[in-house]
Structure 1
Amino acid sequence: MNPQIVNQIYITPGAAVDFEGDTYQVKAILDDRRILAHRVIDDHIAVLQVTGLTPSVQAAPVGPEIQLADEEAWALATRRYNLIKPILANRSDGALVKAIAKENRVSVSTLYRWLERYERTGLVSALMDYPRDGGKGKNRLSPEVEVLIEETIRQEYLSVQRKPISKVYQSLVSQCRQAGLEEPHPNTVRNRVRQLTEYTRLRFRYGKPIADEQLAPLRGNFPGADFPLAVVQIDHTKLDLILVDNLHRQPLGRPWITLAIDVFSRMVVGFYVSFDPPGAMGTGLCIANAILPKETLLASHNLGGEWPCWGVMRMIHLDNAKEFRGTMIKRACEEYGIELNWRPVARPQYGGHIERLLGTVAREMHTLPGTTFSNTRERGRYPSEQKATMTLDELEKWLLTYVTEVYHKRIHSSLGTSPLEYFRQGLLGRDGQSGTGLPFRTYNPEKVRLDFMPFEERTVQEYGVLIDHIYYYADVLRRWIKTTDPTKYKHRLKMLFKRDPRDVSIIYFYDPELKAYFPIPYRDTSRPPMSIWEHREALKRAREQQVTINEDSIFAAYEAMRQIEEAAGKLTKQVRRKGQRQPVHEARLAALTKSPAQPSLAAEHRQFDPFDSL
């Protein structure tokens, strides 16, 4: 993984982006999938797909992994973020910047440097102090020049006269020479102007009332949910559906779903399904899914639908469950500038949007084979386990299809239109009202997922790392074998590791020197991959057999489970083949005797299509 990768792409008019190796400047947002841009090298005009854009700016220095960051250093970064937060939407508001600088006894140029560091990554950790390379070859502007640039843009460019950038730069050069200061490069001024929002331009040139009238975003009904991704609600439920394993379709049990909804538009912005009860893992991966673009997820299930929803939400609204209050979730949200807000105790109406969505999804699943319905009375004599046919992957595919093809496109009674259309209106505007524009698009999905995953701390030994009785090793660990913790006398240094519950054959090691994650496989790579749920079942089986618990006994139990499932699968196939042969034989016999054919039972034995109900 590249530790120097930029985390966000700014898709706004005037922003610079890369597409297929060339740098473009965004001219206009056509919709949530396309932009109009001109190529910088030759001014060629093109319509570009948002999914193909990459950052064009140089990466900012990378700080430590957020979960390892010192509390004092992290508190400093969050204080700096809170200082620049009001400036993010009004960067050219010189009076605001000066007021914040004066009140907090920092210079204006320092605020702008913090702002630049944050905007180059979109991460609060970029505001932490970290070792510098001495600044060789860098030409940092002096505070005096920074002030002149700010004032010149405000006086010359953000005026009713609307002077061209070339004239603004000439004025700046004249002032710098008069003050005996080194003049900045013309691109410095151009870049600052490109970062101005359309609201800022209108506000300074024509006044706040006109800017508000022309560019006021659509407003929602929930307090604070005035635009897309302003407020996202998250909650869990156990689904009324029994799932089967991937290999032999044996019942495994009912899964849990963690679901996230954009309160403004009622769009589903993310979800996560697993066999684990609510916890930090499911919550974190649901948030990561909500932030990330969805094209790769849809493609992994061979789905051609659209889910044009991505970006960091401003606030997450949660209930008071303990899994929402862990340090990992809190710090990960702080890293991305997300405010956590907990539902008041005994005030269920504050979670009404997500509760209704969970109820809607649950009712839709009552049409699927293997459903347990909402209660035993409703289920009656329905054999849920015998009818179960869907795997976890197939359920995820069904959910993706339902969300993108049904729920998002269906008219919502509270909105008067579909969630997808209302979400787009909030971004792009309608009836003369401007939208908020496209959210910043995260470019480093692996980092986002890892940031929101719980972690394990382990020392590195000659054999590698041991987690849950399984050994892992890769050469990147060699440097850290038996390393002593400099803060604790004679104690080994504990390193940070993360893993995906769906595949524990690989863990992710964070190298504190390279400031990057590296995949670490099983030490014995001949071992088969397994999920964390299969691992737990194998561990349970090994304990029941009262054998020594180690890697060999766990994988032996796992193999025994597979052999039993395989035998059961073969028997099931024989029974099914016999069941299918019998009606065929009866049909042929009926045809020979010219008697009415018996009803075929083939339909009862056909493979279930999880999308029949759609």
Structure 2
Amino acid sequence: MSINQLKLYSEFFLYGKKHKIISIEPPYVRIKRPDGEDIKMKFTEIVSHSTFQPDTSMKVTKKEPAPYDVLAKLSESKREEVSERFEVIHPLILLEEIKSQNLRSIQKFMDQYKYLLKEGEEVTSIQQEVLINRINEMRIVQKKKRVSRSTIMRYIKAYRDQENEQNYRGIEGLISRKGRGYTGRKDTKSLEVCHPQKPEIVLDILHVRIHDELIPIVKSIIENDYLTKYNISKATVWRSVKRECAYKQLKEVSYSTISDIIDRIDKKARERFRNLKQAKAIYDDVARGYADRDALHPLDIIQIDHTRLDMQIIDDQTGLTIDRPWITLGIDVFSRMPWCLYISFEAPSANVVRKAIQHGVFFKNTKSLYGTESEWEAFGIPNVIYVDNGMDFKSSDIKRLVNESLKSEIMHRPVRIPKYGAVIERLFRTVNDELIHNILGTTKSKFADLGEIKPEEEACLTLNQIRKILTIYMTDMYPIRDHRGLPVYSKTPMNRYHDGCNEAGFPEWIEPSEEERYKIEFMLTLRKPYTRDGVRWGNRIYKSEECNDIIGQKETKYVVKYDPDDISHIFLKHPKKERFIELLAVSPAYEQLIGVNSYTYSRVLKIWSEEGERKKKSIPGNEQYARAARKIQDEINNSYFKKKNTRKTVARMTEAGQSVTVTFNGQQQKSVVNRSKEEELFLVAKLAEEKRNEKQ
């Protein structure tokens, strides 16, 4: 995958001919054409041009994501083991780079590991032995096991050896080789230990030498009896296995065998299921990775957060009020330029966070999509993404997206210290004060501020309209207003952003031709087997003829990527073809599921299961799906105009970014006027003022 950075004297192709950067004058770039003439173009016009192709001088190879066929194929426990080893040696790796006069590594060390330094101590003066001792001291504070010096040095050597063999893939050298000789025996079987309530989640894979008939017995007792809060002993597990063997007339298994199997289960998995309170104290992240420093250049630090929008939204078919949507914003701390925007009725989740990050990283193309005067200039890959301590930001999918796909850093601000999120909170406040609180349908920030305003009666904007209004505001208005948090010589976010790009260059970005591949990588991840039925997941079946050569047993699982906002297809990493294969839904049919999100389908399953036509685990066919969909339609028709909760449900059932398209029999639909962007922004505020004047 290709990540690029426009630098002075770098080259690129336009209309098939090579051009050269001779000066950077943000937002413009002066380039030299093949005929020798100099021309000036906007940076956004260059990178969005249909014939633009970066030359190798623009490539940023250090940002190449880790290959799927090595890290992505690991079990969750093995993957966490690699991450923990990297966490141990990362300060030492940075120290080596600092000793080699790498100034960027100094800043990275201070961002992530400042707590390893004493007050007033310079990172350049610290010795490797001292740093190793402090790393172990911190691990003891975190109730983690000490790591010996020889083990740490072995990790570093493995990391460097792998990095020299394959550039920037040193983390692969930290994969444990333990047990590889043992697994090569012909009588070795795999025993998957899965989540007791979510069997699709694999906690650990153990290689054992017991009879095939014993594997499901041991697996069931471990998952349903041992991994519980009741803390039964290994001896109790062994006695349960003995009883099952006697009942099924199987040869008994020894206590030592069962004890050894249990001891090899991932320690974190055991403790999280058997003693959750203690496990939280040991394994939950310490809130210490906050960026207590100034941003040095554009996209050095990004702050992201969510809030409920202070506005009631209407249905674009009937004009009835739905609810207040959620908005996710990201801002560049250096320039105060907005970086990302995502608005929907979905509450904060890993899916919402990844959509917001995707919006920030990719070129936004707002001129053609929303008719803005300018393009949204702040896009690309940040150094640090700075978030709060919500579970949506602590998802393993989000951590890997940021840390491994983008090679950025995700940092969590300290709990209950508001000042560390002041920049993004100020953006929310400005959006409300200057825009949202002046539009019909506003709920204000406090109930006491409403006065005679009736938000549900005055609401007049749909989700698509408010998305357009906010995009215009973030692109054409907010960046050119004075900001009190910026220097007096560069008062507006846009000027500050241009000044920063002039000094440090434009941020790294993903070229448009690579966006589709990155969208797959940004998707959520799970592991599924590919059997003769295909991939069975969530009462759906997905298949592709390209995967016929990997049809096998349920024990073998592959990396699967999926988008909760479109369940009509998924992507499976083919172990032989070294790429993701698109699998289309076959039951229900792909055509029926296009644009359907997981929430809508869960509603369909609920209606269908109530029919009792088949057993709960059966796969609904096309006719059943259609009947369930009709029942949902009838339910909506009967209650839509009476219940606000029903209208909110309909909004959740639509794909983000699209209109509500439910037809309501016997009801007259309210026409929605298409307004220009000036009317979208100012007419609604004018109408609100006139209405208030009438009441006085």
1:368 Cα offset (Å): 3.6
Is 1:365 the counterpart of 2:436? The answer is yes
Q: Work out which of the residue numbers 539, 542, 565 in structure 2 matches 1:502.
A: 565
Change (3 A) 1:106 1:545: closer
2:118 aligned with 1:55, yes or no? no
Gaps of 5+ in 2: 105-124, 130-152, 175-290, 638-661, 686-696
Query: Partners in 2 of 1:536 and 1:368 — Cα distance?
Result: 35
- In the alignment, which of 419, 429, 451 is matched to residue 349 of structure 1? 419
Show CA shifts across 1:323-380 (max 9, x none): 2222222222221232222212221111111111122234432334443333444446
* Residue 423 (structure 1) aligns with: 497
Is 1:323–2:392 an aligned residue pair? yes
TM-aligned CA deviation for residue 28 of structure 1: 2.0
Preserved CA contact (<8 Å) 1:473 1:520? yes
The whole-number CA distance in structure 2 between the counterparts of 1:391 and 1:507 is 30
Q: Aligned pairs, how many? A: 464
Residue 535 of structure 1 contacts residue 554 of structure 1 at CA under 8 Å; is this kept in 2? no
TM-aligned CA distance change 1:393 to 1:250, over 3 Å: same
State the Cα deviation string for residues 134-181 of structure 1 (Å, max 9, x = none).
xxxxxxxxxxxxxxxxxxxxxxxxxxxxxxxxxxxxxxxxxxxxxxxx
Q: Which whole-Å deviations, capped at 9, do the CAs of 1:438-471 have from their partners, x for residues lacking one?
A: 1122122234333333223222233332333233
TM-score, normalised to structure 2's length?
A: 0.57
SS in 2 for 1:241: coil
Q: Secondary structure at the match of 2:664?
A: helix
Moved more, 82-91 or 286-295: 82-91
Provide the residue aligned with 1:439 in structure 2.
507
Q: Establish whether residue 64 from structure 1 lines up as the match of residue 68 from structure 2.
A: yes
Q: Match of 2:668, SS?
A: helix
- Which residue pairs with 1:534 in the alignment? 600
1:274 corresponding residue in structure 2 = 344
Inter-partner Cα distance in structure 1 for 2:84 and 2:102: 23
Could you tell me which of 341, 357, 362 is aligned with 1:292? 362
SS at match of 2:294: coil
Matching residue of 2:668? 572
For the structure 1 residues 461 and 568, does the alpha-carbon distance in structure 2 shift closer, same or farther, using more than 3 Å as the test? same
Judge conservation of contact 2:19–2:31 (CA < 8 Å) in 1. Answer: no
Distance 1:496 1:61, change over 3 A: closer
In the superposition, the TM-score normalised over structure 1's length comes to 0.64
Give 1:307 shift: 1.0
Q: Per-residue displacement from partner, 1:275-294 (whole Å, max 9, x unpaired)?
A: 22212121222222222222
Q: What's the CA shift for 1:269?
A: 0.7
Query: Shift of residue 22 of structure 1?
Result: 3.1
Residues 1:311 and 2:380 are matched in the alignment: yes
**Aligned equivalents of 2:376 and 2:296: distance in 1?**
21
Q: Secondary structure of the equivalent of 1:360?
A: helix
SS in 2 for 1:325: coil
Letter in 1 for 2:13: D
Partner of 2:325 in structure 1?
A: 255
CA contact 2:607–2:631 (8 Å) conserved in 1: no
SS at 2:567 equivalent:
strand
Q: Aligned-pair distance for 1:412? A: 1.1
Name the counterpart of 1:448.
Answer: 518
With over 3 angstroms needed to count, the CA separation of the structure-2 counterparts of 1:373 and 1:568, relative to structure 1, is farther
Residue in 2 that maps onto 1:404: 475
The answer to whether the aligner puts 1:9 opposite 2:4 as a matched pair is yes
Q: 1:18 aligns with which of 6, 13, 32?
A: 13
Q: Give RMSD over aligned pairs.
A: 4.3
Provide the rounded CA distance (Å) in 1 between the counterparts of 2:463 and 2:101.
Answer: 41
Once residues 472 and 250 of structure 1 are traced to their aligned partners in structure 2, the CA distance between those partners, rounded to angstroms, is 37
* 8 Å CA contact 2:73, 2:558 repeated in 1: no
Where do residues 193-232 of structure 1 align in structure 2 (5 Å cutoff)?
Answer: 223-232=293-302
User: How far is 1:15 from its partner?
Assistant: 2.2
3-state SS in 1 of match to 2:363:
coil
Identity of matched residues, %: 24
Q: 2:536 maps to what in 1?
A: 466
CA contact (8 A) 1:74 1:125 kept: no
The answer to whether the Cα contact below 8 Å between 2:524 and 2:563 also exists between their aligned partners in 1 is no
Counterpart contact for 1:9–1:17, Cα < 8 Å:
no
CA–CA separation in structure 2 for the residues paired with 1:338 and 1:28: 28
What is the identity, as a one-letter code, of the residue corresponding to 1:531?
N
In 1, the alpha carbon distance for the partners of 2:590 and 2:332 equals 42
Q: How does 1:124-273 map to 2 (within 5 A)?
A: 128=172, 223-245=293-315, 251-273=321-343
Residues 303, 333 of structure 2: 8 Å contact kept? yes
CA distance in 2, matches of 1:507, 1:312: 26
Q: 1:504·1:531 contact (CA, 8 Å) conserved in 2? A: yes
Q: CA deviation at 1:237?
A: 1.0
Gaps of 5+ in 1: 1-5, 92-98, 119-123, 131-220, 429-434, 485-490, 578-604
User: Contact between 2:386 and 2:411, CA under 8 Å: does it hold in 1?
Assistant: yes
Deviation at 1:244, TM superposition (A): 4.3
Structure 1 pair 316/543, CA: closer, same or farther in 2 (3 Å)? Answer: same
Q: Deviations over 1:296-324 (max 9, x none)?
A: x5533444532111222111222222222
Checking the alignment, whether the CA contact within 8 Å between 2:82 and 2:171 is kept in structure 1 is no
Asked if 2 retains the 8 angstrom alpha-carbon contact of 1:26 and 1:38, the reply is no
For the Cα contact (< 8 Å) 1:278–1:323, is it kept in 2? yes
Aligned equivalents of 1:113 and 1:30: distance in 2?
40
Given residue 292 of structure 1, which amino acid in structure 2 is its aligned partner?
F
**d(CA) in 1 for partners of 2:308 and 2:390?**
15
State the shift of 1:385 in Å: 4.3
Contact 2:539 2:620 in 1 (8 A): yes
Counterpart secondary structure, 1:359: helix
State the secondary structure of the residue aligned to 1:311. coil
